[in-house]
Amino acid sequence: MDFAGLSDERDARSVAAHSSSGARDRRGHHSRGAAVRPGPGRVRQAGSAVTAGRTVGAVNRATVVADTADQRQADYFLRLLTQNRRLIGQRIEGYHKAIAVAEARGDAESAGVFRRTARAEEQERKTLDSLIENLQRRFVVQPTADLRGPRLVVR
């Protein structure tokens, strides 16, 4: 209700202003009065909690470990997505064969069902292609020894 031109919003603000100084607000901070307190304030340094208080060498090692973990995770998901894409490709081939068989038998209804299913699988394959491409762009694939081929050593 709005008595004497006071809205609910104003009432809510006045209640918040009168809360006890020890109460916590939504962010978990103590609410404090408007008085400025003397003394050093808290200075917060930028940086991650992983690297806080470490030497430069330790930070570099932590960064390398994190990068290696990211690369391993990207490799895992790339293999997983590639495997799913290969399975979808096999299913699509099966649907195309089933469409040909259904059409040869004159079963237009079954052929239509297989076409719709094949289209859905092709859409899924496009989505997987997009995900694979994004992963490869974000995490450059590190060639393994068998992908690099034979090495020529000249002495």
In whole angstroms, what is the distance from residue 19 CA to residue 32 CA? 10
Residue 27's identity, in one-letter code, is R
SS3 at position 30? strand
Q: What confidence score (pLDDT) does residue 119 get?
A: 98
Quick one: which of 10, 30, 33, 14 has its CA closest to 22? 30
The overall pTM is greater than 0.75: no
For 108-124, write each residue's pLDDT tens digit.
999 999 999 999 999 99
Task: Please give the average per-residue pLDDT across 69-74, as a whole number.
Answer: 90
Q: What confidence score (pLDDT) does residue 60 get?
A: 74
Contact 104, 92 (CB under 8 A): no
